[in-house]
Amino acid sequence: MSAGPVTLLMVGDIILDEPDADSFFEPSRAALAGGDFVVGHVEVPHTSRGLEVSTDIPAPPADPRNLDALRNAGFNVATLAGNHIFDSGTAGVEDTISKLHELGIATTGAGSNLAGAKAPAILERKGIRVGVLSYNCVGPRESWATSNKAGCAYVKVLTHYELDYASPGGPPTIYTFAAPDSLNAMCDEIRALRSNCEFAVVALHKGTGHTPARIEMYERQVAQEAVDAGADVVIGHHAHIMRGIEMYRGKPIYHGLGNFVSVTRALSATENDSPERVAWALRRERLFGFAPDPTMPTYPFHPESRNTIIARCVLGPDGSVEAGFIPCYIDQSACPQPLSASNGGQQVGDYVAKISAAAGLSVRLDWVGDCVVVSGA
């Protein structure tokens, strides 16, 4: 039997912190069924042990039963390397992984130690093996796994503030870049994965949250180094708002897939029993200059973040990668709705083009059927 081609579908941040999690996937279920490999990022730990140990932005654990919705929607890979995966300590990491494996969903990016966190997810369909690695580029350090501590795989990113004019206390130029040893370790792991499968996907938890279009210096550095090391597709998440798309050496880099199903009341500034979460909700509005739509209590994010996509890549037996996406819009019920060109999809496509251009990324977007195909400009 001849191999492939296979269809790889990828979405961004998934937060399942509301009852009836299945219902939020209902509009996208048919689109997701078109994937041989369906990858999503599970943002928060899923555990019922009641432990919260967050030292960063406080996110509560979600009900493990809500993960059933991922299996029912067709997901078969979950990336876990993010800033919240250790928010419920070792128990949260272990319970999340255990439940996903029970559902038949492969995981990568977190584990009971660093070796487990760095272990790739490798699946085979139609004679083609696809491997996935997942790295947290944003911290906090407490979320990182070590040789004897649970947590996530990571790339350490450094920030340098340069004041290059005579005004002490004035606004600096900010430079960000990956620590060389950490970046080299990621590249070695990608090369090892690529030698064991036909295609390698690298997921990076990266970027400045809730800020339209902006791509930090380190983001392109790390993503391009991943491609140089053998990644065929690079995806980003964490910012809770989309970023642009880059074609680099013929490989797609989706700098930020934004939110997919991201439902939670934890960031509400009212009706919230956690003083820490209330304080962060209010501070977030000041830092990023937006207020969530009060008519969407389960979707406390930037209004522009309702533009989102399902990244879609067709992987050929000859090693080819045809990159594209299915435009989606998050409706008033916080459900992502796939859109055709004539039914709102053009506006989402235009948004992707706009934020790509604003970040200095040159790509060409062409409609083919109900999908957008991405190529170098």
E-assigned strand segments in the chain:
6-16, 37-42, 77-79, 106-108, 110-111, 121-125, 128-136, 151-152, 157-162, 173-178, 199-206, 233-238, 245-248, 251-254, 259-263, 307-315, 321-330, 336-338, 363-368, 371-376
Q: Is the pTM of this model over 0.85?
A: yes
Whether residue 99 contacts residue 21, with contact meaning beta carbons closer than 8 Å, is answered with no
Paired tokens of 165: 């004019």
CA distance 297 to 280: 16
Q: Domain 6-376: give its CATH architecture.
A: 4-Layer Sandwich (3.60)
Give me the residues paired with residue 311 across strands. Answer: 10, 325
pLDDT per residue as tens, the chain (377 positions):
468 799 999 999 999 999 999 999 999 999 999 999 999 999 999 999 878 876 677 678 999 999 999 999 999 999 999 999 999 999 999 999 999 999 999 999 999 999 999 999 999 999 999 999 999 999 999 999 999 999 999 999 999 999 988 899 999 999 999 999 999 999 999 999 999 999 999 999 999 999 999 999 999 999 999 999 999 999 999 999 999 999 999 999 999 999 999 999 888 777 777 888 888 888 888 888 888 898 999 999 999 999 999 999 999 999 999 999 999 999 999 999 999 999 999 999 999 999 999 999 999 999 999 999 999 98
